[in-house]
Amino acid sequence: MSDSFFGFDTTLPPLNSDQLTGLEGNTGEQNDETEEEDFERKFKEFSLLPGEDVGAFDDEQNFDLSAQLVETGDDLNDETFGNVGQDFDFMESTAKMDSIQKEEEIYVTRRESNNNSENFDEQAKRRPSYAALWGNDTDGMINGNGKGIHSNEASPISPSIWGSFHSPSNRKDSLTLVQDNSNIPGTFEIPQHYTPPQTSPPPGFGLPSHPSNRLPMSLDEIEAQLYRQPGLPEKRIYSLAEVEAAILGINGRPPPSQQLPIHPATEAVFREQETIAYLEQEYKRREKQRKLAEMSRYNGLMTQSDKDFINRIQISQLVTDDPYADDFYFQVYTAIRSRQAQPQMSAFSPHLGGAGFMGHERGRHRSRGSESGLLKMQQQVLRIVNDARRKPKLTQLSLEGALGKIALNSVRNPRQLLQVSSKHNDIHHHAGPSGGIHQPHQKVPSISSHGIVDHRKVLRSIENVYTAVLALEELRRNQPPLPRYAADHEREVVEKWNEEYTELAVTMWEELRVTEMFGVSILSVAKGKKVIPRVLRHCLPDQILTLITMLVANFEALDVCKCVIWGPQGIISPVMLEEIELFMNTVVPPLLQFVAEAPMRIVLGLFGLFIERNNIVWVARSKVGLAFLTMFLSRTEILKQGGGTMQGLPLPEERELLQWQELYNRLFNLLQNHFLPLFPPFNIGLDDMYVWQFLAAMAVGASTEQQHILVTEVRERVLDTVMQASRLSADKASHKIANVNLFLNALGLDASQLKI
C-alpha cells in the first residue's frame, strides 16, 4: 500500500524472528521445534489465523479494523492533517490485532481440543501443541492447494508471507498430516455436525458453511480431501477450473454413511453449491487478510512526525491563495453542486468543498458551525499558507561548499528548461490590464492586408475585455462584507475594493470602445457577443444606455444585420444563423431588460435614432432589427397605457405622445408596401414568430386605416400559413396558428374565423 505512495523505497528486509516474537507477545506455546520452524510458524499464524478468525468470531474490534481499512473515507481527513489518532496508525492497531488474534487462537485451539480430542488424539501426541498442529495443517494446504487456487489471480503473493514455508522438514510433516486427515474422510465430519454452532446454521446446510470455529479447519480438510482424492500428484499446481471440477467430482459421490439422513442427491447438490460459495467467500477473506499482512510489513517505519511532515509537504503543494485561478473548474463545480444541494445542507458553503485549498479569510468566516474536524484542518491549512507567505518562494538553493545549485521545484514552480526573462510578465501582472506602465512597443509597419490587422486588433481588444471582466468577477467574489460597525479598517477595505473595482470597470469599458465604430466590430465576433452580458453586469445605467445608443445608431454595420437580410434568393449560411441566435440570446436580453425599465423619453429617443440612422426597410428584414423595433413598439405601447406607473414612472406627457405618433407614422410609411418581405422565405422551415410579434406590435398602435393596409399586405401570408397548418401534425399546426393569432388577435380577429 504505502510503497509507492510516498515515493520511498519501503522494501526492507523482513523482521527477524526476535522482532517477531517481540511483536507477537508470549503465546504460551511450548517451543520445542527448531528455531527455523518457529520463525515460519510465527509468520503463518500472523498471516493466516486472522483470516480464519474474521469469519469465526463476531469480534467487534476485529471487525472494526477491517471496516476502517476498507471504508475509511474523507471524513477522517481532518485527522490526517491534525494529530493522527490511533485509528490511523496501522502499526499500533495491527499490533493490537495481533494480540487479539493470539488470544483467539488460544481459544480456538482449546475448543478444538475439546471437540476433537478423540479424533486428533493421535496427532496431538505427535505434535507439541494444537496451535502447532493448526499451523502445519494449513501450511500444507497453502503449499499444495492454496497456491494452486491463487496461481492465476494472485501470483504476486509475497514470498515473505507464504513462500518461506518450503523448508523441507516442515513440509514433509504437514503433508503427512494432511494425508492422515484426508484418508479418513468420514471421521472429521462428525464433530463438525455435532459441534454446537455459535450461530444456528440454516436448515439443510452442509458441513462447510458452519460459521463455527471449526470452519477454517473444515475448509482445509475439504481441500485436503480434494487434493488427495483424485490421486493427482501433490506438487501439481491446479487452475481454478480444475479445482472446481475436482469439487464437483467429489461432491457427486455418495456422502459418507455418518451423514444426516438426507437424500443423497439433494445433499450432493447442496454441498456442491455451498462448497463453491464457501470457497469464494474464503478466498475473498484470505485475499483481504493477505493484503493486511502485506501492509503490516511496513508497520512502524515512520514516526508520527514523519507522517505529519509528509502531510504538510503534500498539502502545501496544493494550497493556493487564489483558488479560482488555480483550481477554477473544481471551484465552479462545487459551487454548482452546492447550489443544487442547498436546501439540505446549507451549512456547507461552496467553499467548504475546496476549503483545504483556499485557505484564506473566506474559508474562515463561512465555516462557522461546521464540525470541529473541518475547522482543525482549515487551521492547519491556514498556518501552512501563512508560512508560505512569510517565506518568499525560493527557486534555488545554494549550500555552502556545494558546487552547484539545488533547484527547489514544486507544482507551481516546475523545472525550467529555458531561462527567459519574465520582466514583461511581471510588470503586466502588477499593473494589470489597466496598463499603468505601457511597454514601449515598436511600431512594426504592417505588411499584411488591413482587414486582417483590424480583425486581430478586434480580437486583442476582446481578450483585454475578457481579462478585465474576469478580474472584475474575481473582485466581486471577494467582495468584503459591508462594515457593520464603524470600524475604520473594515471601511478601508471596502473603500479599497470599490476603488479597484471602479478602476477595472473603467478599463473594461474603455477596451470595449463603445463610442467608436470599433465596438461594432467587437460585436461582430462570436466571443465579443458572448462577453456582453458579463460586461453589462458591471456597467452603470449610463454606460448601458451608451452601448444601446451606439448599437441603435450603427445597427446597419452589425454582422447580424448586414449579412442576414433575406434577399430574393433567401439563403443565409448556417454559420450566420448561429450568430443571430447567439446575438438574440446574449446581447438582446440585457438590452431588452434595460429598455423595459426605461422612461418614455429614452425609448422615444432610441426609437427615433433607430429610424433616423438606419435604412429601415432594409434593416427590418433582419431578425435582430425587427426584434429591436418590436422592443421599442411594445415598450412605448405599455408606457402609453400607463404601465410605467408601477415602475414609478410618470404617465407620458402630451408632447411625448405626439412625438410617438409622429415616429410611428413615419415607421409605418417607410414599411408600407414592404410588410410581406419582412417574412423569411416561406418554405425553409424557419420559425417566423418574430415577424408576427412585430406585426402585432404594429397593429396595436395602428389606426383603422393603417390596420386595413396591414391586413391587406400580409393577407396572403396569413392564409398560406393557416393552410399549411392544416396539413401539419397537431402540435406544429397549433404553433403556426398561434403565430398567426399573435397578429390577428391584436386586430381583434382570430384564425378560426378565417374561411379558406
Give residues in contact with another protein (CB under 8 A). 420, 424-425, 428, 433, 435, 438-439, 441-444, 446-448, 452-453, 456-457, 459-461, 463-464, 467, 511, 525-527, 530
Alpha helices by DSSP H, 513-599: 518-523, 526-536, 541-553, 559-562, 574-586, 588-595
> To the nearest whole angstrom, how small is the minimum distance from the Cβ of residue 667 to another protein?
36
> To the nearest whole angstrom, how small is the minimum distance from the Cβ of residue 576 to another protein?
15
Residue closer to another protein by CB (options 72, 416) is: 416
Residue 4: all three cell numbers together = 509507492
Question: What is the rounded CA–CA span in Å between residue 737 and residue 749?
Answer: 12
The distance from CA 634 to its chain's CA centroid, rounded to whole angstroms, is 45
DSSP SS3 for 406: strand
- 386 C-beta neighbours (distance < 10 Å), count: 12
> To the nearest whole angstrom, how small is the minimum distance from the Cβ of residue 684 to another protein?
23
> To the nearest whole angstrom, how small is the minimum distance from the Cβ of residue 583 to another protein?
15
> To the nearest whole angstrom, how small is the minimum distance from the Cβ of residue 439 to another protein?
5
- Picking from 179, 145, 177, the residue whose alpha carbon sits closest to that of residue 162 is 145
Residue closer to another protein by CB (options 259, 464) is: 464
Residue 666: all three cell numbers together = 413615419
Q: 564 near 572, Cβ under 8 Å?
A: yes
- 443 C-beta neighbours (distance < 10 Å), count: 6
- Picking from 461, 494, 464, 467, the residue whose alpha carbon sits closest to that of residue 479 is 494
Q: 247 near 283, Cβ under 8 Å?
A: no
Burial 175-209 (b: 16+ CB within 10 A, else e): bebbeebbeebeebbbbbbebebeeeeeeebbbbb
- Picking from 426, 434, 436, the residue whose alpha carbon sits closest to that of residue 504 is 434
Residue closer to another protein by CB (options 459, 709) is: 459
CA dihedral 358, 359, 364, 368 (to 10 degrees): 60
- Picking from 472, 520, 462, the residue whose alpha carbon sits closest to that of residue 497 is 472
Residue closer to another protein by CB (options 280, 516) is: 516
Question: What is the rounded CA–CA span in Å between residue 101 and residue 92?
Answer: 14
Residue closer to another protein by CB (options 166, 527) is: 527
> To the nearest whole angstrom, how small is the minimum distance from the Cβ of residue 325 to another protein?
14
Residue closer to another protein by CB (options 530, 613) is: 530
- Picking from 124, 105, 125, the residue whose alpha carbon sits closest to that of residue 113 is 124
At residue 406, φ and ψ (nearest 5 deg) are: -100, 125
Question: What is the rounded CA–CA span in Å between residue 635 and residue 646?
Answer: 14
Residue closer to another protein by CB (options 84, 525) is: 525
- Picking from 729, 614, 623, 612, the residue whose alpha carbon sits closest to that of residue 659 is 612
Residue closer to another protein by CB (options 288, 530) is: 530
- Picking from 376, 370, 309, 381, the residue whose alpha carbon sits closest to that of residue 78 is 376
Question: What is the rounded CA–CA span in Å between residue 206 and residue 50?
Answer: 24
> To the nearest whole angstrom, how small is the minimum distance from the Cβ of residue 322 to another protein?
17
DSSP SS3 for 364: helix
CA angle 595, 622, 703 (to 5 degrees): 65
Q: 21 near 45, Cβ under 8 Å?
A: no
Residue closer to another protein by CB (options 205, 333) is: 333
Which amino acid, residue 119?
N
Longest Cα–Cα distance of the chain, Å, equals 123
> To the nearest whole angstrom, how small is the minimum distance from the Cβ of residue 619 to another protein?
27
> To the nearest whole angstrom, how small is the minimum distance from the Cβ of residue 459 to another protein?
4
Residue closer to another protein by CB (options 281, 434) is: 434
Would you put residue 340 in left (φ > 0), alpha (ψ -120 to 50) or beta?
Answer: alpha
Residue closer to another protein by CB (options 260, 453) is: 453
> To the nearest whole angstrom, how small is the minimum distance from the Cβ of residue 408 to another protein?
20
Residue closer to another protein by CB (options 167, 464) is: 464
- Picking from 634, 632, 601, 596, the residue whose alpha carbon sits closest to that of residue 616 is 632
Q: What is the enclosing helix (H) or strand (E) of 137?
A: helix 130-141
Residue closer to another protein by CB (options 405, 527) is: 527
Residue closer to another protein by CB (options 513, 601) is: 513
DSSP SS3 for 397: strand
Which amino acid, residue 130?
Y
> To the nearest whole angstrom, how small is the minimum distance from the Cβ of residue 136 to another protein?
57
> To the nearest whole angstrom, how small is the minimum distance from the Cβ of residue 207 to another protein?
58
> To the nearest whole angstrom, how small is the minimum distance from the Cβ of residue 534 to another protein?
14
> To the nearest whole angstrom, how small is the minimum distance from the Cβ of residue 443 to another protein?
5
At residue 417, φ and ψ (nearest 5 deg) are: -90, -30
At residue 346, φ and ψ (nearest 5 deg) are: -70, -20
Residue closer to another protein by CB (options 444, 756) is: 444
> To the nearest whole angstrom, how small is the minimum distance from the Cβ of residue 756 to another protein?
44
> To the nearest whole angstrom, how small is the minimum distance from the Cβ of residue 2 to another protein?
32
> To the nearest whole angstrom, how small is the minimum distance from the Cβ of residue 563 to another protein?
17
Residue closer to another protein by CB (options 443, 755) is: 443
The interaxial angle of helices 304-318 and 372-390, nearest 10 deg, is 70
Residue closer to another protein by CB (options 176, 410) is: 410
Residue closer to another protein by CB (options 110, 412) is: 412
> To the nearest whole angstrom, how small is the minimum distance from the Cβ of residue 577 to another protein?
15
Residue 172: all three cell numbers together = 514433509
Question: What is the rounded CA–CA span in Å between residue 237 and residue 143?
Answer: 10
